[in-house]
Amino acid sequence: MATESSSTARLSCTSVPPARRVPSMIDDVREGLLSPPRWLPPKYFYDETGSLLFEAICDTPEYYPSRTEAALLAEYAGEIMTLSRPRHLLELGSGSSRKTRLLLDAWTAPAGTYWPFDVCAEMVASSGRALIDDYPDLVVRGLEGDYHGGLSCLPLPAEGRRLVAFLGGTIGNFHPGEAEAMLGEIADLLREGDHVLIGFDRIKDPAVLAAAYDDAAGVTARFNRNVLNVLNCALEADFPVEDYRHRSVYDPELQRVEMRLRAGHDHRVTFGRLATSIDMAGGEEILTEISRKFTPASFRRLLAAAGLVETAHFEAEGGLYSLVLAARR
C-alpha cells in the first residue's frame, strides 16, 4: 500500500510500493561491482547532491539536451496540451520539474492534477512545494519510488484523461530490452484518448556528444564521481572518490554514450555492510551509465515494440533532439 508522508490540501508526497521485487543496492553491487566488467545502475546517481548536480549539468553550455527540450516545449506545449487534453499529468523521473512548468503554463484544464514520480524524495518534495506556490489551481500528488518496480501500483484515479511525460532523454539510460519493457508498462497505463510524451536524444556528431558528457567546468565529472560517495555512505565503503577519473566515450555501433569511472591507481575497496572487498587495478573502469541516442525511425521501432504509436513528432533544428507524443496502438 502507498504510504503518505506529508500532505496539504493541494500537495501530498506518497511513497509508492514496488509492484515486483526491485534489487537492493546490495544486490546491485554484488551483481555489478564485485567482479569485472564492473557496472552500476544509474539510479544511484540521484541522491540529493546528485540531483542538484544534474540540475547544474543542465546549465552547462555543452549539455544541449535539456535546453533543446525546453525550447521545444516552449514552442509546442500549447499544441501538446491541445492534442492530449489531460486531466492528470504523470511525470516519470520528474526531478526538479523545471521544464514541466512549460506544460503547466499551457494547461488550460481547470484544476488538473500533476503527479511527479521520482526516486529522489527530496526533489519530489521541494519541486512540489514550489509548484503549488506558483500555480494556485494546481494539485500536486508527489510520488516517491523506483520506476523499475513497475507502474501498476501508482495511485492514479481511474477517471480522467492521462498524459504521461518521460522527459530529458531518460529513456536513453535504459538498455534496449529494459526500454521496451518500460514503454510497455507506460502503454499499460494508457487508455483510449490518453497519451505519453517522450523526449529522446538524437544521433549526432560524436564531438558534440563528447563535450555534452564531459563539460569544461567538470560538473559532469562531479556528478559521475558522486555515485561513489553514495556507495561509501550507504554501504560503509571506502572508494577514494577523488582518485577516480570521469570518462565519457561514444560507441557508434551501440549508438550510446558510456560514462565510466577510471581508477587512478591499484587499491582495495572495502564494503563494510557487505563484509567484502574488491581489488581495483589502476586504469580499471566502472560503467556508471549508458545514454542511448536514436533516429526518428529507430525510436518509432522501439515504440512499436512496446505497443505504442507516434501521433506527433516535434524536432529541434538540425535534428538535435526530439519530443514525441504517442498513444496505444
- Nearest by Cα to 119 from 96, 147, 98: 147
510500493: which residue's cell? 17
Amino acid at 320: L
Residue 46 binding: pick among ligand AVI, ligand SAH, none (C-beta 5-8 Å cut-off by kind): ligand SAH
Nearer to ligand SAH, 33 or 123 (CB): 123
Residue pair 140/10 in contact by the 8 Å Cβ criterion: yes
* Mode of pairing for the β-strands spanning 195-201 and 321-328: antiparallel
Give least dist CB 272 to ligand AVI, A: 28
Q: Could you count the other beta carbons within 10 Å of the beta carbon of residue 279?
A: 9
Per CB under 6 A, 285 contacts ligand SAH:
no
- Of these partners, ligand SAH, ligand AVI, none, which one is at the site of residue 86 (CB under 5 to 8 Å by kind)? none
Beta bridge partner(s), residue 116:
91
Would residue 93 be called left, alpha or beta, if left means φ above 0 and alpha means ψ between -120 and 50 degrees?
Answer: left
Contact map string, positions 235 to 274, toward ligand AVI, x by CB under 6 A: ------------------------x---------------
Spatial separation of the C-alpha atoms in residues 68 and 74, rounded to whole Å: 10
Amino acid, res. 204: K
Name residue, grid cell 516517491: 144
Residue placing its CB nearer to ligand SAH in the complex, 46 or 250 = 46
Give me the least distance between CB of 218 and ligand AVI, in Å please. 12
Which of ligand SAH, ligand AVI, none sits in contact with 116, Cβ below 5 to 8 A by type?
Answer: none
| Residue of the chain from 11, 40, 43, 225 that contacts ligand SAH (CB under 6 A) | 43
Q: Does 125 bind ligand SAH (CB under 6 A)?
A: no
Q: How many helices (H) and strands (E) does the chain have?
A: 9, 15
Neighbour-count burial for 118-141, b at 16+ CB within 10 Å, e otherwise: bbbbebbbbbbbebbeebeebbbb
76 binds, among ligand SAH, ligand AVI, none (CB under 5 to 8 A by kind): none
Draw the binding track, 68-107, toward ligand AVI (x: CB under 6 A; -: no contact).
----------------------------------------
The per-residue DSSP string of 273-295 comes to GGTEEEEEPTT-EEEEEEEE-B-
Please give the backbone phi and psi of residue 247, each rounded to the nearest 5 degrees, phi first: -135, 140
Name the segment binding ligand SAH (CB under 6 A); options: 30-38, 146-154, 205-213, 244-252: 146-154
First to last CA, the chain: 31
List the single partner that 146 binds among ligand SAH, ligand AVI, none, CB under 5 to 8 Å by kind.
Answer: ligand SAH
Site for ligand SAH (CB under 6 A): which residue of 13, 57, 102, 120?
120
Residues binding ligand AVI (CB under 6 A): 57, 65, 168-170, 172-173, 213, 220, 259, 289, 291
Catalog residues that contact ligand SAH under the rule CB under 6 A. 43, 46, 51, 54, 66, 93-95, 99, 118-120, 123, 146-148, 167-168, 170
